[in-house]
Amino acid sequence: MPVIFKIKNKTNWVVTFILGLGLLIISLIILIIIPLMSMQTEGIFIIFNYILSVIPFAGFFILLLYFWLWNTFGKTVLTIEPEQITIRYKNKLFTAPKVYLKKEIDQVQTKDFTIEKSKLGVRYNFSLSGSTYSVVFIQKDREIRILDWITETKACEITDEIKKMWY
């Protein structure tokens, strides 16, 4: 019987508001302003003019929609099974589920990234809610962070459940 954890993203309401306004403005440009400007040309060129004018705005709209959906409604669904772990990202466009097999993972850990060290230096992460922990797989001297920016209790709960199911 698989164990399922659903972890909701912490919504940044300022980003949600700003991206929402950006989506509204780009929608108005695509639906009102560009068609009015395209009407100035004649014949079949109206369609080509409209399509060529909309393409950059549509690409930017999709990019903003990607970030807005994930920030506002994003959820990570972790399914722990006896032989594998599947990670699905709900409300995140263009992402496929990630599957990790038990035989490929050497160790499961909970790590605190309040102070994050990398090749480029040291970065300090601060969170009022204490959401600086990650669930990490160790795979042949390589770390794979499967869940980021969760609380210590949630990270330990998930790590314990994985260890109970796998070991």
Q: What is the pLDDT along the chain (167 residues), one digit of tens a residue?
A: 899 999 998 899 999 999 999 999 999 999 999 998 888 877 788 888 889 999 999 999 999 999 999 999 999 999 999 999 999 999 999 999 999 999 999 999 999 988 888 888 998 887 777 788 999 999 888 999 999 889 999 999 999 999 998 87
Tokens for 72, please give them. 């506002």
pLDDT of residue 61: 97
**Residue 27, both tokens:** 């929608």
CB distance 156 to 110 below 8 Å: yes
Strands ordered across the beta sheet of 133-138: 107-112, 133-138, 143-150
Percent composition of the chain: helix, strand, coil (DSSP 3-state, to 5): 45, 30, 25
- What integer pLDDT is reported at residue 47 of this predicted model? 86
Q: Which residue has the tokens 């990234």?
A: 113
pLDDT the model gives residue 37: 87
Residue type, 38: S
Can you name the CATH fold of 3-8+77-166? PH-domain like (2.30.29)
